[in-house]
Each structure stands twice: as structure tokens, then as C-alpha cells.
């Protein structure tokens, strides 16, 4: 029996997804179900001076209209992020409709509930609302003079300032200095499935079918807001059409669906429209990042200053942690990272794929390219000269690294060697050709609480593994089936992985590239406990061929326990269980991640290479090739890993050239809140993408050494593309996305 781990197994949920058999949260059909439609505020700041719902109330099929005047008050607002994720995780500390105050455009001000979706949508148009508008600030430029330095950001998880050494003095002494400010447009996630919640009350017991990356976080957040015991709230989510971070936190519409259902005494479905997605579940904030690098003539970094300025909401100090890995990627004795924030009338920004690092590493890796040109060094050579053999923030060793191997393999695959560094020298007809590279890095997060899972083995040799996690398209169910099959020693098709229900043992939310590592650890522990338990039964059973054998000498293959050296001495799980009148047996497993102060640098590394063609007359950029080489630790399934990494790299292409949400600062609303006007990379934009994997062995992060590949594919991809654009045209563009007008 060859191991299942490491095999390119097809997705176990793939068929259900592509045939329409999988039911998503907005497709849950229940008897007597009603439909809720959110009405959002049209102004970014002020108060509701008049709200008239009488026409809407009289419209056909309308069951109720909730506004701040008649909705239940929430019991308590949980904090944004507690000390550890996996607990409650509201997207913002503002719950709407508790009074007449408007803090951002799109903020829910009414919920219409009717017997059909169309009737609810129609009635929503009949509500009349007037506002007393107050002056608002909705963009970074408008608020620049009101910036402040927060003590902590990111729900209190990260300090607002990190420093070592003396940046000022070492910059003054450096042979070469580079100072650049990079501007980033706001981004929105746009998963293919917009968020949806179906809420059902049975007495005081609430069930939510919700499109969420964290069922337990949803359970705990809604319970806190409604003043319920978590035991009264069950969250189920079997199929999710992507999330990318916008379903990692729990946004107000989820609780509003529960309140609506309680109000009308029927199940209620609340599905956000695509347009509502732009003002209902967070975004990646607009930002400016200033990078100042000081280096010696030989290219060794002496000083690095990284400052970020970004808008947050009126009520939360949120910035994505763009200065996270910037302090750790290169050996540099003097470092200073500072976040500054501006209160604006927008909702609280949130995680978006590669949170922090995709923008922070864009700034650093583009500045490193500028420094390489300034020094006359090959950009890859400059990175090698500053390679951090230990974690420069702490001096601790890395748990594993593999970055040099990624550079080397990537350079080979791409053909980097012998590159003519002089910009604007390569042509293909009217197209200017350029190449660029960048480092990819993403932290290995250990911030989850103890994980639990249950494994059950049946006498017919089949097994069910249960863990209260969810799969939002990442391949979780597939790889956990593989982990369980190997741990138990049974064929892959004998294992079923059950997930997506808070009734199951509590395990990880799928966030921060941590899902595969966290859940594989606990699934591994659960099946190992079960296997050891069954073997112990055999060793104690005088009728078993394994009676009194040394447990360390027993192996299991194809569901049959046997001695490693004498394989004919053994019996199947089923023979043993049935002899003991057991139709099945089960074990619980748990796993606690290493503590946050583990004395190792914890990160995943990679290298990105890009080739672009630019038509400078028309301002067109075409990415012709992307090569990414990554070292994500143990690869459970090369096929799903590659898909994740390739998806990340293509998202990097979108970040570089397409994605940007524009704020209409006159009206305080996102101006391009649709997939027609917010551009994401599609197949026609996709170049030849090559993904390769470097094996690194990691004994620190978790039992199987899985470092994760959910986000790192995106980190560095946009920087490699922007550096290639410079190489093609000979001019630096310091703004994302790079648009036609920047190139003309």
C-alpha cells in the first residue's frame, strides 16, 4: 500500500462542486423559509433623520421590516480579535441598526423580510430614508493630516511600532540610500460565492447555514452578540465558494439574519448581492508605504525603514500587518517599522489573501530591485548577499527555510542567468520585454488554540474522521482524507472526512495559511490514537496473532495489522473488532500548537520570476511567464498545493495590473462595486505559469511539518511583475495597480 500523503489525489468534493450537487449556504431550502434583503445607508456619515417603512410594509408578501426603531438590541459586542483566533472574531466592533447613526455608506439601516426574494427586493425599494449628513473622510488623501500612530493594530495582536538598532544613524552612514513611497489601491476579495446566511430557530436553539471560513468563530460571535450560550448556536457550512479572508471574520449580516428569523418566527435566508459584498465584509485598505534602504557598496543592508499609512474605520485600529515579515526577511541590524492610521468613514478593513505581506513585500522587493540597480548588482545576487541565515529579529534559527534552493531552482527554470540588466534593450516587435524577480515569504502562524478531532473505525475497515473545520475551496477535505488513510493504514477510499459543523470536535478556522498544518496535526493525532488503541486491543488478546507482540514492531497496511518483520503474523482490524463484538471503535485526538514564543523563526519562503511584454504606445502590459518556486514544508497533495500556489501567483498578476477599488470621495461610496468594473485576472490574462516545490523538513511547526501554501503564491508575484515592467520600459511605477495611464 503506497502512502496517500504526497499523492496528487483528486479533490474529494470536486465532483459535487462541478455537477451542482454541492449545496452552498444560499441554496439551503427549508419549509416556510422567508427571504431577507439588506438596505444600506446611502451616505457615509451622519444620522437617519426620517425613515418611512409604511409603503414597504403594505407591499405584497412582506412579513416585517426591521430598522433601528424596532430591532432587538445586541447583548454585547465582542472584541475585534481576542488574544487567539478560533475564538469569536467579529469583523468590526460596530454593530449597525442599534441607533440612528451612520458611520459608513452601505452600513445596514433596514432589513426587509418577505415570503419571496423578489418581493423583499421590491419592498426594499419602497422604504424612504432621509439623512442628516455630516462631513466625511473616506480616502487616505483626505485624511492625511489626521494620521495617528496606534499602540497596536490588527485587533491588538500586533504592536504599532517595531524597531531594532539605530536606523537614523546607520542611514546617515550608508554608502547608498534608496527611498521610495509606494501607493496601493484598496482591494476587494470577490469570491465567486457572495456571503449568505440561512438562520433557523427551534425554540431558543439557533442553526446558521453560513458561508464562513470559521464555523466556531461564527458560533461564538453570534452567541456573544445575541447573549446566548454557544451551546445554543450551531453553525453548518459544507460548501463554500471561496473567501480569501472576507469570510474569516464574522460580519453583521450573519447576526442580522438570526435576528430577522427570530422576529418573523420562520427560517430566513439573507444573501448579499455582489454590490453589497463591497461594503459588507471588509476590504484590503488603500495604503502608502515608505521604504528607505541604506546599504554598503557591497550590497549589505545596514538600515531599513518601513512606514505605512492607511485608512481604517471610525471605530477600529486595523491595518493589515504589512510590516510583518519585512523585519525578518533580510539580515539588517537596524530596522524601524511604524504603522500610522487615519479614521475614515469606511467599514473596518480585514484580512485579504496574503494579508500584509502581499503589499509589504511588494514595497520591499521593488525597493530591493531599485537598490540592486543603484549598486550595479544582479537583483538575485543582492538578495543572496542579504540572506538571513537566522531570524534577524530575534537571532533564533529558522524552523526550516529552503530559500536559497528556491532562488536557485527558480533561476534555472526561468533562465535568469545571463540576463542583460540594462532596461529597455529587449524587444519583440512593438513589445518591450522585461524580466524581474522577487522573494516570497509568509509567516507560519501558530496562533490557534488546541485542536480536536475524532476518528472512528468500523469493523468493515472503513473510517470516518470528524473535525469542526471547513473547506472553502482549499482542498482541506481531500488532504485530511489522505492524512487519515496513512495514519490508520487503510486505503484512501475507505476514509470519509466530515467537517463544516460546530457539533463536531472543535478545530481550526481556515485562515492565515494555517489550515493544512493545524488540521493535519490533529487528524494525525486522532488516527494515531485510534490505531494505537486497536493495536493495544490485539496485543492483549490471546486469540490474536499479535498477542504479546512489541507494539513498536506492529505496522498496518490495507487495514491489516502485522509484524513488520513477519508480515504473515497479523489480522485485519475487522477480524479483531468483530471478535470483540465491536461494530466500531473510536478515539479523540487533540493537538496544541507550539507556543507563540517558540524560539524559532517561522516562515515559508519562495522565489518569483516574471517576464512581461509592454506596448509603450498603447500602455499595455502582458505577463508572458511566471515561475514560482516555494518551500512549503511537507506537501500533502502536490496537485492541490500547486493549484493554491498558481492561484496565488495569478492573483499577484491581478494585484499588479488589475485590481483596485476606487472611492468616490464626494459620495463616500465605492465607485466600481461590480465584477464588470472591479477587474480580476481571468483565463485570458493567465500566462504560462510554472510552479515548483522545494522539499524542506520541519520538525517544529507541527507533527507532519506542513508550513502551508494558501497565501505565499501571491507574495512577491506583483513585485516580480513590477520589476519586470521597469526592466522593459526603464521607468519605475510606484503604484498598484499599474494602469495604462502610468505607462503612457
Please list the active-site residues.
711
The CA distance from 56 to 50, in Å, is 15
The CA distance from 541 to 441, in Å, is 52
Residue partners of 567: CB distance under 8 A and separation at least 6: none
- Cell digits of residue 538: 490485539
The CA distance from 248 to 710, in Å, is 14
The CA distance from 455 to 585, in Å, is 8
Judged by CB under 6 A, the number of residues near ligand MOS is: 11
Select the residue interacting with ligand MOS from 245, 436, 517, 687 (CB under 6 A).
Answer: 245
- Cell digits of residue 602: 517561522
703 binds ligand MOS (CB under 6 A): no
Burial group, residue 716, by CB count within 10 angstroms (0-12, 13-18, 19+): buried
Q: Smallest distance from the beta carbon of 240 to ligand MOS, in angstroms?
A: 11
Select the residue interacting with ligand MOS from 352, 371, 691, 709 (CB under 6 A).
Answer: 352
Residue partners of 264: CB distance under 8 A and separation at least 6: 34, 63, 64, 113
CB atoms within 10 A of CB 299: 22
The CA distance from 699 to 602, in Å, is 11
Pick 28 or 89: Cβ nearer ligand MOS = 89
Q: Are 520 and 448 in contact (CB under 8 A)?
A: no
604 binds ligand MOS (CB under 6 A): no
The CA distance from 481 to 638, in Å, is 14
Q: Smallest distance from the beta carbon of 350 to ligand MOS, in angstroms?
A: 8
Q: Are 26 and 193 in contact (CB under 8 A)?
A: yes
Binding piece for ligand MOS, criterion CB under 6 A, among 228-236, 242-250, 378-386, 669-677: 242-250
Binding piece for ligand MOS, criterion CB under 6 A, among 89-97, 243-251, 331-339, 635-643: 243-251
CB atoms within 10 A of CB 614: 24
511 binds ligand MOS (CB under 6 A): yes
Pick 154 or 244: Cβ nearer ligand MOS = 244
The CA distance from 734 to 289, in Å, is 10
635 binds ligand MOS (CB under 6 A): no
The CA distance from 212 to 251, in Å, is 10
Select the residue interacting with ligand MOS from 90, 282, 337, 355 (CB under 6 A).
Answer: 355
Binding piece for ligand MOS, criterion CB under 6 A, among 238-246, 302-310, 380-388, 477-485: 238-246
Pick 192 or 578: Cβ nearer ligand MOS = 192
Task: Quote the Cα angle for 650-653-659, to 5°.
Answer: 110
Q: Pattern 178-217, binding to ligand MOS, x per CB under 6 A?
A: -----------------------------------x----
Q: Smallest distance from the beta carbon of 710 to ligand MOS, in angstroms?
A: 7
- C-alpha Rg value of the chain to the nearest Å: 27
Select the residue interacting with ligand MOS from 71, 236, 248, 479 (CB under 6 A).
Answer: 248
Name the E strands within 426-553: 426-428, 431-443, 451-458, 463-466, 495-498
Residue partners of 276: CB distance under 8 A and separation at least 6: 38, 40, 106, 194
Q: Smallest distance from the beta carbon of 703 to ligand MOS, in angstroms?
A: 22
The CA distance from 441 to 327, in Å, is 12
Pick 351 or 726: Cβ nearer ligand MOS = 351
Q: Smallest distance from the beta carbon of 191 to ligand MOS, in angstroms?
A: 10
Q: Smallest distance from the beta carbon of 353 to ligand MOS, in angstroms?
A: 5
The CA distance from 224 to 367, in Å, is 45
DSSP tag of 593: P
Q: Smallest distance from the beta carbon of 308 to ligand MOS, in angstroms?
A: 17
Q: Smallest distance from the beta carbon of 517 to ligand MOS, in angstroms?
A: 13
Q: Smallest distance from the beta carbon of 213 to ligand MOS, in angstroms?
A: 6
353 binds ligand MOS (CB under 6 A): yes
Binding piece for ligand MOS, criterion CB under 6 A, among 115-123, 239-247, 561-569, 666-674: 239-247
Select the residue interacting with ligand MOS from 35, 335, 351, 651 (CB under 6 A).
Answer: 351
Q: Smallest distance from the beta carbon of 585 to ligand MOS, in angstroms?
A: 36
Binding piece for ligand MOS, criterion CB under 6 A, among 292-300, 345-353, 377-385, 686-694: 345-353
The CA distance from 528 to 455, in Å, is 9
Closest residue to ligand MOS, based on beta-carbon distance: 245
Binding piece for ligand MOS, criterion CB under 6 A, among 14-22, 241-249, 660-668, 698-706: 241-249
Q: b/e for 504-528, b at 16 or more Cβ within 10 A?
A: bbbbbbbbbbbbbbbbbbbbbbbbb
- Where is 538: in which H helix or E strand? helix 515-539
Binding piece for ligand MOS, criterion CB under 6 A, among 191-199, 228-236, 237-245, 549-557: 237-245
Select the residue interacting with ligand MOS from 443, 512, 687, 708 (CB under 6 A).
Answer: 512
Could you list the residues that contact ligand MOS (CB under 6 A)? 213, 243-245, 248, 351-353, 355, 511-512
Amino acid at each position: 500500500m503506497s502512502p496517500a500523503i504526497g499523492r496528487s489525489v483528486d479533490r474529494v468534493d470536486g465532483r459535487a462542486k462541478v455537477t451542482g450537487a454541492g449545496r452552498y449556504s444560499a441554496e439551503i431550502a427549508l419549509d416556510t423559509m422567508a427571504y431577507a434583503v439588506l438596505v444600506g445607508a446611502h451616505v457615509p456619515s451622519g444620522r437617519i433623520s426620517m425613515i418611512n417603512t409604511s409603503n414597504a410594509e403594505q407591499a405584497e408578501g412582506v412579513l416585517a421590516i426591521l430598522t433601528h426603531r424596532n430591532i432587538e438590541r445586541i447583548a454585547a459586542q465582542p472584541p475585534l480579535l481576542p488574544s487567539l483566533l478560533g475564538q469569536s472574531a467579529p469583523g468590526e466592533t460596530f454593530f449597525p441598526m442599534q441607533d440612528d447613526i451612520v458611520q459608513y455608506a452601505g452600513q445596514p439601516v433596514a432589513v426587509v423580510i418577505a415570503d419571496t426574494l423578489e418581493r423583499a427586493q421590491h419592498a426594499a425599494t419602497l422604504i424612504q430614508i432621509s439623512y442628516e449628513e455630516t462631513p466625511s473622510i473616506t480616502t487616505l488623501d483626505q485624511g492625511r493630516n489626521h494620521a495617528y500612530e496606534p499602540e497596536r493594530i490588527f485587533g491588538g495582536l500586533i504592536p504599532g511600532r517595531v524597531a531594532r538598532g539605530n536606523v537614523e544613524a546607520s542611514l546617515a552612514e550608508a554608502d547608498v540610500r534608496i527611498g521610495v513611497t509606494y501607493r496601493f489601491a484598496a482591494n476587494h476579495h470577490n469570491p465567486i460565492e457572495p456571503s449568505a446566511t440561512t438562520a433557523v430557530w427551534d425554540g431558543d436553539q439557533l442553526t446558521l447555514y453560513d458561508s464562513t471560513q470559521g464555523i466556531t468563530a461564527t458560533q461564538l460571535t453570534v452567541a456573544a452578540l445575541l447573549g446566548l450560550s454557544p451551546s445554543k448556536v450551531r453553525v453548518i457550512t459544507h460548501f463554500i465558494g471561496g473567501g480569501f479572508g472576507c469570510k474569516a471574520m464574522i460580519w453583521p449580516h450573519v447576526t442580522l439574519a438570526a435576528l430577522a428569523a427570530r422576529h418573523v418566527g420562520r427560517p430566513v435566508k439573507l444573501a448579499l448581492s455582489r454590490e453589497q459584498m463591497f461594503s459588507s465584509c471588509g476590504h484590503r485598505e488603500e495604503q502608502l508605504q515608505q521604504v528607505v534602504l541604506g546599504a554598503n557598496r557591497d550590497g549589505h543592508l545596514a538600515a531599513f525603514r518601513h512606514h505605512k499609512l492607511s485608512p481604517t474605520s471610525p471605530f477600529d485600529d486595523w491595518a493589515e500587518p504589512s510590516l510583518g515579515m519585512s523585519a525578518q526577511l533580510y539580515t539588517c541590524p537596524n530596522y524601524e517599522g511604524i504603522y500610522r492610521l487615519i479614521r475614515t468613514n469606511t467599514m473596518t478593513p480585514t484580512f485579504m489573501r496574503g494579508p500584509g505581506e502581499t503589499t509589504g513585500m511588494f514595497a520591499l522587493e521593488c525597493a530591493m530591485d531599485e537598490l540592486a540597480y543603484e549598486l550595479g548588482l544582479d537583483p538575485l545576487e543582492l538578495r543572496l548577499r542579504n540572506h538571513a541565515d537566522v531570524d534577524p529579529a530575534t537571532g533564533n534559527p529558522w524552523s526550516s527555510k529552503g530559500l536559497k534552493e528556491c532562488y536557485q531552482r527558480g533561476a534555472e527554470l526561468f533562465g535568469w542567468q545571463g540576463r542583460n540588466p540594462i532596461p529597455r534593450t529587449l524587444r519583440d516587435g512593438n513589445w518591450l520585454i522585461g524580466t524581474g524577480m522577487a522573494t516570497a515569504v509568509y509567516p507560519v502562524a501558530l496562533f490557534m488554540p488546541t485542536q480536536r478531532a475524532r476518528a472512528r473505525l468500523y469493523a468493515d475497515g472503513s473510517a470516518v474522521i470528524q473535525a469542526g473545520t471547513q473547506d472553502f475551496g482549499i482542498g482541506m477535505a481531500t488532504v485530511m482524507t489522505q492524512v487519515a488513510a496513512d495514519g490508520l493504514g487503510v486505503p484512501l477510499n475507505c476514509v470519509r472526512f466530515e467537517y463544516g459543523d460546530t457539533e463536531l470536535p472543535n478545530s481550526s478556522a481556515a485562515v492565515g495559511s494555517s489550515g493544512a498544518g493545524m488540521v493535519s496535526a490533529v487528524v494525525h493525532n486522532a488516527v494515531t490514537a485510534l490505531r494505537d488503541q486497536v493495536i493495544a486491543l490485539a496485543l492483549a488478546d490471546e486469540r490474536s496473532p499479535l498477542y504479546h507482540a512489541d507494539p513498536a514492531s506492529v505496522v498496518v497496511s490495507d487495514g491489516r495489522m502485522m509484524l513488520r518483520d513477519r508480515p504473515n503474523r497479523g489480522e485485519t482490524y475487522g477480524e479483531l473488532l468483530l471478535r470483540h463484538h465491536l461494530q466500531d471503535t473510536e478515539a479523540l485526538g487533540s493537538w496544541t500548537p507550539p507556543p507563540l514564543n517558540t524560539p524559532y523563526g517561522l516562515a515559508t519562503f519562495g522565489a518569483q520570476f516574471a517576464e512581461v511584454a509592454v506596448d509603450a504606445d498603447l500602455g499595455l502590459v502582458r505577463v508572458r511567464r511566471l515561475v514560482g518556486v516555494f518551500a512549503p514544508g511537507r506537501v500533502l497533495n502536490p496537485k492541490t498545493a500547486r493549484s493554491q500556489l498558481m492561484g496565488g501567483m495569478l492573483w499577484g498578476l491581478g494585484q499588479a495590473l488589475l485590481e483596485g477599488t476606487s472611492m468616490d470621495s464626494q459620495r463616500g461610496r465605492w465607485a466600481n462595486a461590480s465584477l464588470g468594473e472591479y477587474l480580476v485576472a481571468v483565463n485570458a490574462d493567465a500566462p504560462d505559469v510554472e510552479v515548483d516545490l522545494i522539499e524542506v523538513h520541519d520538525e517544529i511547526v507541527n507533527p507532519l511539518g506542513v508550513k502551508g501554501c494558501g497565501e505565499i503564491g501571491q507574495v512577491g508575484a506583483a513585485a516580480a511583475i513590477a520589476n519586470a515592467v521597469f526592466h522593459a520600459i526603464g521607468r519605475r511605477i510606484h503604484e498598484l495597480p499599474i494602469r495604462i495611464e502610468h505607462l503612457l
